[in-house]
Structure 1
Amino acid sequence: MGMLDGKKFLVTGVLMDSSIAFHVARIAQQEGAEVILTSFGRTMKITQTIAKRLPQTPPVIELDVADQEHLDTLAERLGEHTDRLDGVLHSIGFAPQGAFSFLDATWEDVSTALQISAYSLKSLAVACEPLMTDGGSIVGLTFDAKFAWPVYDWMGVAKAAFESTNRYLARDLGPKGIRCNLVAAGPIRTTAAKSIPGFEQFERVWDDRAPLGWDVKDPEPAAKACAVLLSDWFPATTGEIVHVDGGVHAMGQ
């Protein structure tokens, strides 16, 4: 019997097989879970193709977290594939290029980053909650927002909002038996990371600073942490951030 035997999960953010979300979906299936993926727009065909690389090809439903109609109908559309959800992985983030220049960014750029990268955690949780009648686990991916990182700029601010949103969700969904936790992963060379100007700055120094070392090409440690948080093995943990970064978060300069 696998750690996730009989569980049913919604996994967002599978774009390539280098995505952390892809490996969460893979591990979940290997541990006995059923998985449904989301995608939208031009990336739908890409996600459907990548989904075939999983142990079992899951359904892919359309979800743009900036589209209220998609959110309002999500539970109904999921109902075509499952009678419930035991967990949700939030692996969604986006900021316009202008948001990576802190002093020059416009509110239009910043508001987009905040909506897609922070507010969407609440939106997704509310949309999925009707199917989580027996409780469950919502897990999100963050990049430690305690610091002002080089190049991250307004995405860093969005991640700080994301982490705060997680705590408020933990407060409001806890009475319904729904746990809300985040995994703060070290830098992984994903499609999303490549869109961040200057991301290679993280790549150059992270392995040197990590007591355990760090491989920017290996998403599996972060994916395993997500899988465990989706399981029943953390029944009394919510509002937490689990660092999977080789230990960098605990080190001084």
Structure 2
Amino acid sequence: MLTGKTFLITGVLMESSIAFHVARLVQEQGGAVILTGFGRALKITRTIARRLPQEAPVIELDVTDEEHLAALADRIGEHAERIDGVLHSIGFAPEGAFNFLEASWEDVSTALHVSAYSLKALAVAAAPRMGEGGSVVGLTFDATFAWPVYDWMGVAKAAFESTNRYLARDLGPKGIRCNLVAAGPVRTTAAKSIPGFERFEESWDDRAPLGWDVGDPVPPAQACTALLSDWFPATTGEIVHVDGGVHAMGT
């Protein structure tokens, strides 16, 4: 369903990452992908890119670097005249941000910059290569609740979800859709960096009416791939939950 389309995919760090499986599914559905990475992770992304069905090009992008963002459209242009969508799979908070009452503004501002503002920054930087029919898809962790251990990253995700709604408002007239997938906990590199993440692992499957496998990143990747496609042409500003149904349960 993606034949002839090209997508920019961020956040491919491991084969266990949701972003890796989005890239894989895009290729299996006939599309092409361009990956991003930066810093020490750039080498890792280039290695992982060779494990896709077809090796994908990798460009350097730090979403907090204004020069990188300004050059993004040109860097994409080295590989494709146009892209049909972008996957935002980026999140980071310093360790101090996982202590709500004691976190410093320095740690909190880093979490908000990388994990929330970057959605706007990435979408705006990539928009010149998209246009009518483009799709921006991001990954979130349901910010409706105050989760154990998540603390300021939870606040950043609330800002991220709000940012998505404003992007949907402002990019809609350009024909660009903006949606999020709220995934249940998946044992990824990002998840392992969250102190106490195992508390989610221990309880999620019991609470999910459909059950939940923290080791399976494919269900949320499938939702992201569908939202990147043309199969949701009138859907924007939405959050699709792929969490086994936990979001709908009272306890």
Shared fold, TM over 0.5 = yes
The equivalent position to 1:136 in structure 2, one of 131, 134, 137, is: 134
* Corresponding residue number in structure 2 for 1:60: 58
The 3-state SS of whatever aligns with 1:113 is helix
* Corresponding residue number in structure 2 for 1:152: 150
- Indicate whether 1:32 and 2:20 are aligned: no
* Corresponding residue number in structure 2 for 1:82: 80
User: Alignment identity in percent?
Assistant: 80
- CA deviations over 1:164-211 (Å, ceiling 9, x no partner): 000000000000000000000000000000000000000000000000
Runs (4+) off by over 6 Å = none
* Corresponding residue number in structure 1 for 2:209: 211
Taking only aligned residues, the RMSD between alpha carbons, in angstroms, comes to 0.5
* Corresponding residue number in structure 2 for 1:197: 195
Q: CA deviation at 1:97?
A: 0.2
Gaps of 5+ in 2: none
Amino acid in structure 2 at the alignment position of 1:22: F
Give, in whole Å, the separation in 1 of the partners of 2:107 and 2:170. 29
Q: CA deviation at 1:54?
A: 0.2
Amino acid in structure 1 at the alignment position of 2:87: L
Give, in whole Å, the separation in 2 of the partners of 1:49 and 1:181. 29
Amino acid in structure 2 at the alignment position of 1:222: P
Report the TM-score when normalising by structure 2. 0.99
* Corresponding residue number in structure 2 for 1:123: 121
- Indicate whether 1:181 and 2:186 are aligned: no
Amino acid in structure 2 at the alignment position of 1:143: F
Contact 2:133 2:230 in 1 (8 A): no
Q: CA deviation at 1:133?
A: 2.5
Amino acid in structure 2 at the alignment position of 1:237: T
Q: CA deviation at 1:58?
A: 0.4
Contact 2:131 2:176 in 1 (8 A): no
The 3-state SS of whatever aligns with 1:41 is coil
Gaps of 5+ in 1: none
The 3-state SS of whatever aligns with 1:73 is helix
Amino acid in structure 2 at the alignment position of 1:244: V
The 3-state SS of whatever aligns with 1:54 is coil
- Indicate whether 1:102 and 2:97 are aligned: no
The 3-state SS of whatever aligns with 2:136 is strand
